[in-house]
Amino acid sequence: MNDTSEPRWLDQAEMTAWLRLVAVNERLPGVLDQQLRRESGFTHFEYQVLAMLSDAPERTLRMTQLGLQTNATLPRLSHVVKRLEDRGLVERSVAPEDKRAINAALTDDGFAALAEAAPGHLASVRAHVFDPLSREQVLALSEALAAILTKVDPMGDAPQDRRATS
């Protein structure tokens, strides 16, 4: 039963990188959530939903598209959007051209809430992620993550850098 084709183990540099990736993965969401929750009453995921909507034409997106752009499963998104709708920040309506589909649209209240939350969130992202990185590190990190995404998200569904509003 000797499995000689067993993939080689991680060497030390790889193991270090792996532990760090996992650590960031576990700790960053908590940091972001905590700041947003405290200052704006949002989850980071909720913030993402609002942000993606605000960048979309008509501030409206189909659920499926929104799910892809926020890297979320559809059930999860469905629940979250329902809660946001209950809070009056988002409105759902059946798409006229395809009655299976649902358009989620940011309300004015939702836009205002997002605008109020944004500066604090931005400051947090800068403080925890970009401040400690040099420009070259930002670019290198970005490239490495893009490479990983090709494997983790083979369809390339994650939010493309369509530099929207600019």
Residues near its own copies (CB under 8 A): 3, 6-7, 9-10, 12-29, 31, 48, 70-72, 119, 122-123, 125-133, 137-153, 158-159, 161, 163, 166
Q: Closest Cα partner for 118 from 44, 34, 26, 16? A: 44
Compare residues 93 and 137 and give the one whose CB is closer to its own copies: 137
Give dist(CA 11, CA 38) in Å, integer.
41
- Among DNA, its own copies, none, what binds residue 128 when CB lies within 5 to 8 Å by partner kind? its own copies
Q: How far is the CB of 151 from its own copies (least distance, A)?
A: 5
Compare residues 29 and 119 and give the one whose CB is closer to DNA: 29
The residues near 90 (Cβ < 8 Å, ≥ 6 apart) are: 49, 50, 53, 81, 84, 104, 105, 106, 107, 110
122 is a site residue for DNA (CB under 7 A)? no
Determine whether 134 is exposed, middle or buried from the number of CB atoms within 10 Å of its CB (0-12, 13-18, 19+). Answer: exposed
Given 72, 89, 106, 113, the residue binding DNA (CB under 7 A): 72
Instruction: Tell me the CB-side half-sphere exposure of residue 29, using CA atoms within 13 A.
Output: 9
Can you tell me whether residue 92 is helix, strand or coil?
strand
Q: How far is the CB of 134 from its own copies (least distance, A)?
A: 8
The residues near 58 (Cβ < 8 Å, ≥ 6 apart) are: 105
Q: How far is the CB of 99 from its own copies (least distance, A)?
A: 30
List contacts with DNA (CB under 7 A): 30, 33-34, 37, 43, 45, 62-65, 67, 72-83, 92, 95, 98-103
